[in-house]
Amino acid sequence: MFSIPGKQAVTMTDAAAKQIARLMAQKDSQGLRIGVKKGGCAGMEYTMDYVSEIDPLDEVVEQAGARVMIAPMAQMFLFGTEIDYETSLLESGFRFRNPNVVEACGCGESIKFAES
């Protein structure tokens, strides 16, 4: 839907690909669908859901056994994003390094995109 020929919509670090592949195997899913929805203090939030069936309109990115689908309405917001998986002493989770984000809240859960 929204893409540049020869360029993946999103990229994954090795750590993210390993974690996504592990989650896919645990849940016997086809992959994870990522998207954005209204919410949070900055206006938008990322979503991640297990997928049992790939939607033909999804942008599919595969790497090292991991599969991520980008919901059609989220493709323009996520283009160029790097997905990482970080572990620290207190928490672990996915991190999105998104060049389209102009503002994020202090908790890191909520984001804002430039208004068009």
67-94 confidence digits (pLDDT tens): 999 988 899 889 999 999 999 999 899 9
Superfamily for domain range 10-113: HesB-like domain (2.60.300.12)
Angle, CA 6 vertex, CA 4 and CA 7 arms, to 5°: 60
Closest by CA position to 34, among listed 67, 11, 7, 68: 68
Per DSSP, the three-state class of 64 is coil
Cα separation, 9 vs 66, whole angstroms: 15
Angle, CA 15 vertex, CA 47 and CA 5 arms, to 5°: 65
28-55 confidence digits (pLDDT tens): 999 999 999 888 776 788 899 999 999 9
Question: Are the CB atoms for 66 and 16 separated by under 8 Å?
Answer: yes
Q: What is the pTM of this model?
A: 0.84
DSSP letters spanning 28-40: T-SEEEEEEEE-S
Which helix (H) or strand (E) segment is 24 a member of? helix 14-27
3-16 confidence digits (pLDDT tens): 555 668 899 999 99
Question: Are the CB atoms for 20 and 51 separated by under 8 Å?
Answer: no
